[in-house]
């Protein structure tokens, strides 16, 4: 019985682990890992495309290159976004993803939200951003985007917001990171 006790404890402990109902991803960066869950029932086309890019290896050797911060706030309390993707590292001609606005998904750009960057509705593809603090101006109908269509939120950081904040606090020239932060890879967890 003493020999079985460690095995029984492992089985009991693993049974107690709660598995998320949502797809999980890990964004491995040179500054640490960011874990997130994705919401395919709310943004199915966006999540399907993002997972396809992950599975295809497009995010291997990508970068975080852009930071938006609120002026006049201390670094520790600052809000904004960090943006990353592959457009600088891999010149791929990816098709645009049909725009799933927050009006459709019922998601909002709150702290930790993952969303797709775009120029016009239907042009988003591999570039994404993570919200630091609530950024509801990027929701449908608000003034954060000229066309008021907002951005396509599709997931949320579950662990690693400290890494997101470290990336945000790196030196910038305007809104561009002086030294880009490497995304070693993004993988399903």
Q: Give me the CATH code for the 21-188 domain, please.
A: 2.40.100.10
Closest CA to 154 of 84, 94, 104, 120: 104
Please, which residues bridge with residue 91 across strands? none
Closest CA to 114 of 60, 58, 164, 174: 164
pLDDT in tens, 142-174: 998 999 999 999 999 999 999 999 999 999 999
Whether 76 has a pLDDT exceeding 80, the answer reads no
36 DSSP 8-state letter: E
Say how far apart CA 54 and CA 49 lie, in whole Å: 9
Delimit the domains of the chain by residue range.
Answer: 21-188
18 DSSP 8-state letter: P
Whether 10 has a pLDDT exceeding 60, the answer reads no
- Average confidence score pLDDT of the chain: 90
């Amino acid at each position: 019985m003493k020999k079985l006790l460690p095995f029984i404890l492992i089985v009991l402990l693993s049974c107690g682990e709660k598995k998320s109902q949502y797809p999980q991803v890990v964004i491995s960066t040179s500054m640490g890992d960011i874990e997130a869950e994705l919401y395919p029932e709310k943004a199915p086309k966006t999540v399907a495309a993002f997972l396809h890019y992950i599975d295809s290896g497009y995010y291997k050797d990508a970068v975080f290159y852009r930071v938006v911060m609120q002026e006049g706030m201390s670094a520790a309390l600052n809000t904004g976004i960090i943006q990353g993707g592959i457009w600088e590292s891999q010149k791929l001609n990816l098709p645009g993803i049909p725009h799933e606005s927050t009006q459709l998904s019922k998601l909002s750009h709150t702290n930790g939200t993952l969303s797709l960057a775009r120029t016009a509705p239907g042009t988003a593809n591999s570039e994404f951003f993570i919200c630091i603090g609530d950024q509801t101006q990027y929701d449908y109908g608000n003034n954060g985007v000229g066309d008021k269509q907002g951005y396509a939120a599709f997931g949320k950081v579950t662990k690693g917001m400290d890494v997101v904040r470290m990336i945000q606090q790196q030196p910038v020239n305007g809104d561009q990171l002086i030294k880009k932060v490497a995304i070693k890879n993004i993988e399903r967890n």
